[in-house]
Amino acid sequence: MSAVWCEAAWLPGRGVVDRVRAEVNAAGIVTSVRSGVPAREADLHVEGVAFPAAANAHSHAFHRVLRGRTHAMGVGSFWTWRQQMYQAAGALTPELYEELATAVFAEMVVTGWTSVAEFHYVHHRPDGTPYAGEDGRHAMELALARAAVNARIRLTLLDTCYLAGGIGQPLSAEQARFGDAGPEAWLERLQSLREEVARRFSPDEVTVAAALHSVRAVPAEAFEVIARDLPAELPLHIHLSEQPAENEACVQATGMTPTGLLHRHGLVTPRLSAVHATHLAEADIAILGAGHTTVVMCPTTEADLGDGIGPAAALRDAGARIALGTDQHAVVDPWLEMRALEHGERLGSGQRGWFPPDALHTAVSDAGAAAQGRRPPGLAPGRYCDLMAVDPASLRTVGSRRDQLALTATAQDVGTVVVGGRLAARKGIHATLGDPARLLATALAKLDSEGS
């Protein structure tokens, strides 16, 4: 048994209180919490104000390659950005991906994210054939798992079904490494991966769940097979209605919106996480809400790509749970994602106060953990002792009420990150890997060389 003592901490249902001490078991789970008590000599001391750590509900680790490199094209769109993304994917090998992902995951940890749902579809060699060697057909997936363990981030590896290049279109040459022979082949490979990961890693470190890339990449006839045969206990994620063109193509091909297609096959349930859900009809909002789904908003990515502002408050009011993710990592900062969620509603409505600070913390922590099928982080018995503590007296935060730091703090203010009751990062430096910027610089240089 170990203990963490916080100078101040946000507690569920109580707000920010002073001098909080939590006892933590060997699995990193909180067993007891007391406030208004002194620290003990052996306790891990956490300065500032500690909040439940962030749970990243949507990530593509290799997209980090594109940060700051896609803005010289003038007028562009998601579709022109996508071509550059394919080029980045083409340069990956298991060795390079492990190095890059270690750096990306370390960046997440030092900014406050302590778990991540990695939406992974770079499965095979560039020509679509499996890797050989010790790790075999799961070489890319196991590279990501090792990267997460090295970075001390909890990984939910979303093995993604990607079967088509668009509605009614075959995979292109640059998409070949994403694909499987059909839904049955994907389900078989998914089961094999689950068994291999369970053999090698603790579920507190790495678990495997499922994703369907989108209605563009999974043919309508495959949904019936997947709905019937996908294990019921697995979380399921999908990119949903990210672009109007996706909706139009789906309606033309099936007579239904993407949400309607999922609903027809019984996939709109509490285990579903719909990513983006930016362009929804009122009927879609009602279906997702009635299904008590999680909707994963990625506000900084949606802004970077010009995707639009999704109906977060309407979805919440209909019964959906809102979570947050970093997606393409144009920004890796849970505080800015929280703020952008509220700001999007303000910009769309002309009113303030759609997501108060406690709702923002719930979205970035509890809802993200639920989307991963994990226990939540924070200071209450039964939670993981995963924390992110911010300085309440920085240039950005000084004068803020402590319970409103979600609207003023940024990742620059994160002083201490705790994972499972152990120190993971301090002032932007990873406890075991050092400066993530150095790791990223090395990995990006190697990828640039490989792709040139």
**Triad 235, 238, 242: Cα angle to 5°:** 150
pLDDT at residue number 447: 87
Predicted confidence band at 391 (pLDDT cuts at 50, 70, 90)?
very high
Q: Is 449 left (phi over 0), alpha (psi -120 to 50) or beta?
A: alpha
Active site residue 276: yes
**Catalytic member of 276, 279, 329, 343:** 276
Among residues of the chain, what percentage have pLDDT more than 70? 97
410 near 335, Cβ under 8 Å?
yes
- Which three-class secondary structure state does DSSP give residue 53? coil
pTM of the model: 0.96
φ, ψ at 355 (rounded to 5°): -125, 95
pLDDT tops 70 at residue 76: no
Of all residues in the chain, the percent with pLDDT exceeding 90 is 91
**Amino acid found at 296:** V
* Amino acid 321: pLDDT: 98
Examine the residue annotation and report whether 435 is marked as an active-site residue of this protein.
Answer: no
Q: Which residues contact 390 (CB under 8 A, 6 or more apart)?
A: 48, 49, 51, 335, 397, 405, 409, 413, 414, 415
CA of residue 14 relative to chain centroid, distance: 27
Catalytic position from the list 159, 180, 284, 327:
327
Domains of the chain (ranges plus CATH)?
Answer: 2-51+380-437 (2.30.40.10), 52-372 (3.20.20.140)
Among 85-89, 272-276, 312-316, 386-390, name the one with the lowest average pLDDT.
85-89
Dihedral angle over CA of 6, 324, 236, 79, nearest 10: -150
Single-letter residue type at 290: A
Spatial separation of the C-alpha atoms in residues 436 and 441, rounded to whole Å: 8
Tell me, what's the pLDDT at 86? 79
* pLDDT (mean) for 372-383: 98
Model confidence band, residue 85 (pLDDT cutoffs 50, 70, 90): confident
Instruction: Please tell me the distance from the alpha carbon of residue 366 to that of residue 185, in angstroms, as a whole number.
Output: 33
Local structure of 315: helix, strand or coil: helix
Task: Report the alpha-carbon angle 159-161-164, nearest 5.
Answer: 150
- Judged against a pLDDT cut of 70, whether residue 420 lies above it is answered with yes
152-181 in b/e form (b: 16+ CB < 10 A) is: bbbbbbbbbbbbbbbbeeebeebbbbbbbe
The pLDDT tens digits for 185-235 are 999 999 999 999 999 999 999 999 999 999 999 999 999 999 999 999 999
69's tokens: 């490199």
More confident residue, 181 or 69: 181
Q: Is the dihedral of CA 94, 97, 102, 103 positive or negative?
A: positive
- The mean per-residue pLDDT over the stretch 315-342 comes to 98
Q: Lowest-pLDDT range, 83-97, 176-190, 393-407?
A: 83-97
Q: What is the pLDDT of residue 74?
A: 58
Which band of pLDDT confidence, cut at 50, 70 and 90, is reported for residue 73? low
- Give the confidence band of 243 by pLDDT, cuts at 50, 70, 90: very high
Distance CA 124, CA 329 (A): 23
pLDDT score of 79 = 57
Q: What is the mean pLDDT of the chain?
A: 95
pLDDT at 3 over 90: yes
Sole residue written with tokens 């709905």:
227
Residue 84 has pLDDT above 60, yes or no: yes
